[in-house]
Chain A
Amino acid sequence: MTPEAPVILIVEDDEGHAILVREVLETAGLGNRIRHFRDGQAVLDFLFGIGGVPAHHSGHSFVVLLDIRLPKVDGIEVLRRIKSDSEMRKLPVIMLTTTDDSREVDRCHQLGCSVYIQKPVDYEKFAEAVRRLGLFIMLLLVPPIDGK
């Protein structure tokens, strides 16, 4: 059985940004399923389960596109939680944000984000970045989460 294509989890509070990212990914020909989360807590709940009830993701794989400034739990905290979990740390996390603060970028890399892409205001550059991101995701062999 060939592993299924990873599901792309877009964590983005701005609906417009989410649509633009999704469109560019589709234009680039990515057929992956895409799920959209509007805040950090929502994606953590999805990945880790709510109220101690574990989420079942056995056999699935994910790629996380993560904004930094998010309501409730911010992107850095989401990244930290993912990377400090023995299973979830396998997930590639791509920080996708308007921030270009070098301290913030360093912090994300230290926490183990795979790629850091600044959302350029220039649409063409933005599209190009996301397109390359799409290729990257396709090439990436994402390990599935082990069932427990």
Chain B
Amino acid sequence: MANTEKSRATEAEADLAGRLQLAAIIESSDDAIISKTLDGVITSWNPGAERMFGYTVSEAVGKPMLMLFPPDRVDEEQEILTRIRRGERMEHFETARVRKDGGRIEVSVTISPIKDVHGRIVGVSKIARDITEQKRSERQLLDAVREMRDIRAALDEHSIVAITDAAGKITYVNDKFCSISQYSREELLGKDHRIINSGLHPKDFFRNLWTTIGKGGVWQGEIRNRAKDGSLYWVATTIFPRFNEAGKPLQYISIRTDITQRKADEADLQRFAADLAEKNKELETIVYTVSHDLRSPLVNVQGFGKQLNRACEKIQAAIAGGRDGQVAAADLKAPVEVAIPQALRFINAGVTKMEMLLNGLLRYSRLGRIAFTIQPLDVNELISEITAAMRFQIDETKSEVRVEALPGCLGDRVQTSQAFANLLDNAIKYRDPKRPLRVTISGAVRDGMSVYSVSDNGIGIAPDHQSKAFEIFHRLNPENGSGEGLGLTIAQRVLERQGGRIWIESQEGVGSTFFVALPTVAVPANAV
């Protein structure tokens, strides 16, 4: 029995030691460990609970557990007690509680029934852990993830995005990348960017790009790429390298914007600026020429005006010197028969010339304001109309005009017709009197342009004079008939405004060929 007693004492000792150990664990735990009655009255309160909720043991024990519940959670207590009474256990139940100072904390609680030796439920134990901080970081993380997701969505809305691995293999492309490159995602993933390389950048261009991003730098530039169908597009590109903690390249993120239109606009702008500079130079030349040509008749008007003055003075002197109203006819003869008619002739010619120049100038300036109707033209029909209208001139000069089959073109009917009529008129005007005039009109399509030639066997133009043929008011042969020196100038301006061109090849004494190029009409594929 002594043995039994001894073992009992040992058992009691062991039990006490175990209880003390448990008490020590409870004392030192960071978690709040609380027990309460089945009515919800607090029966024990560890230092962890004291730190978590701010109530001391004496403030807490004997008080209802409900004092820790925030107003919106008071219903929980009834449910907890009901479930405990049924012997259930609640693990890691996340909820909120209120501290003594009113601060709300988030807690994870495990609630279990306390049973007596007979297995009856006599109380409730509750272990609570403050997860306020953990919850806050979770929320922050979630917010950060959401923010990243939205930023990425915004980026995808605006930009062409691709990500490659360190070796340059594409690991991600967004819809915009697929759409502009015309490749499907499946075609792009695993490939590198050479798939869209246009071959239009020098090798150095990409070498510089890789050097920059390989060293961890951000590369920015404008790249011309080739889509699947072979068409080209421009992208403003930023490539951002990502490195791992060891400093090795991890990914390259490229963000691009389609600037194809901007590039086209820039090219247009440059072309317009060049055109404008060209037009300005032309205008300067015209102003220079016109001012000279207007001044020339003015010199005559004033010079011969003075001659009229002197003639008047002579007549007045003769009258003053006459006797009994008789003036010697010889004294009047020179001024009246020579000086005055000559002066009047030049003054009148000068005035007529100035009027003609001004009219010509107005006609030229109006060209800039004419609204053109560009349409497909049947040039064969156009030329036969012109030759019909000029039939009298052609027959009168015993000329022969041969017209070959001509391609169509795009142009303004009236203006193009006038340009051709002018060329034919010039051919007749500058024919060689020594031989009958032969004019051949032919045409062919070259590089998208219908090129026509009007070729004659007339007097021709010496090389020195050819460049001046299109100059305003320039007349190659002023003695030769009428004309204001505007025909070719106007033809040139009209053709250029229609996207065309006119030029000349000529050999003095042999003949001239005028070439007219206008945009050709698109030939249907089945007609080739």
Q: Name A's B-contacting residues (CB within 8 A).
A: 13-17, 19-20, 38-39, 41, 69, 71-74, 77, 97-99, 101, 119, 121-124, 126
Contact = CB atoms under 8 A, between A and B. Distances in A.
A14 B479 CA distance: 11
A49 B474 CA distance: 26
Contacts of A124: 306
A100 B447 CA distance: 44
A122 B298 CA distance: 9
Interface in B14-67: none
Contacts, number: 67
Contact of B292 (A39, A41, A69): A69
Contacts of A19: 342, 346
Tell me whether chain B's interface is mostly helix, strand or loop, or mixed. helix
A19 to B, nearest CB: 8
B477 A126 contact: no
Given A14-B296, A16-B299, A16-B304, 14 more contacts: A16-B300, A16-B350, A19-B342, A38-B478, A39-B478, A69-B292, A71-B475, A72-B462, A72-B464, A77-B464, A101-B288, A121-B295, A123-B302, A126-B303
Given A71-B475, A71-B478, A16 B349 contact: yes
A20 B465 contact: no
Contacts of B464: 72-73, 77
A121 B349 contact: no
B273 interface: no
B465 A98 contact: no
Interface of B: 288-289, 292-293, 295-300, 302-306, 342, 346, 349-350, 462, 464-465, 468, 474-479
29 contacts: A13-B478, A14-B296, A14-B299, A16-B297, A16-B346, A16-B349, A16-B350, A20-B304, A38-B478, A41-B462, A69-B289, A69-B292, A71-B475, A71-B476, A71-B478, A72-B462, A72-B477, A73-B464, A98-B292, A98-B296, A98-B299, A119-B295, A119-B299, A121-B295, A121-B299, A121-B302, A123-B302, A123-B305, A126-B303
Contacts of A17: 296, 299-300, 303
Contacts of B479: 38
A7 B465 CA distance: 28
Contacts of A14: 296-297, 299-300
Given A72-B476, A73-B464, A126 B299 contact: yes
Q: Which among A97, A98, A119 has the greatest number of chain B C-beta atoms within 10 A?
A: A98
Nearest to A123: B306
6 closest pairs, A vs B, by CB? A16-B300, A16-B346, A98-B295, A20-B303, A123-B306, A123-B303
A15 B353 CA distance: 13
A16 B343 CA distance: 9
Contacts of B346: 15-16, 19
B19 to A, nearest CB: 117
A98 B288 CA distance: 11
A67 to B, nearest CB: 9
B478 to A, nearest CB: 5
A126 B303 CA distance: 9
B292 A99 contact: yes
Nearest to A13: B478
B347 to A, nearest CB: 9
Nearest to A97: B292
Contacts of B349: 16
A50 to B, nearest CB: 12
B49 to A, nearest CB: 102
Q: Which among B298, B300, B303, B346 has the greatest number of chain A C-beta atoms within 10 A?
A: B303
Contacts of A16: 297, 299-300, 303-304, 346, 349-350
Contacts of A15: 346
Nearest to A104: B288
Q: Which among B342, B349, B465 has the greatest number of chain A C-beta atoms within 10 A?
A: B465
A50 B475 CA distance: 22
A43 B477 CA distance: 15
Nearest to B288: A101
A14 B295 CA distance: 12
A20 B478 contact: no
B283 to A, nearest CB: 15
Contacts of B303: 16-17, 20, 123, 126
A141 to B, nearest CB: 31
Contacts of B296: 14, 17, 69, 98
Contacts of A101: 288
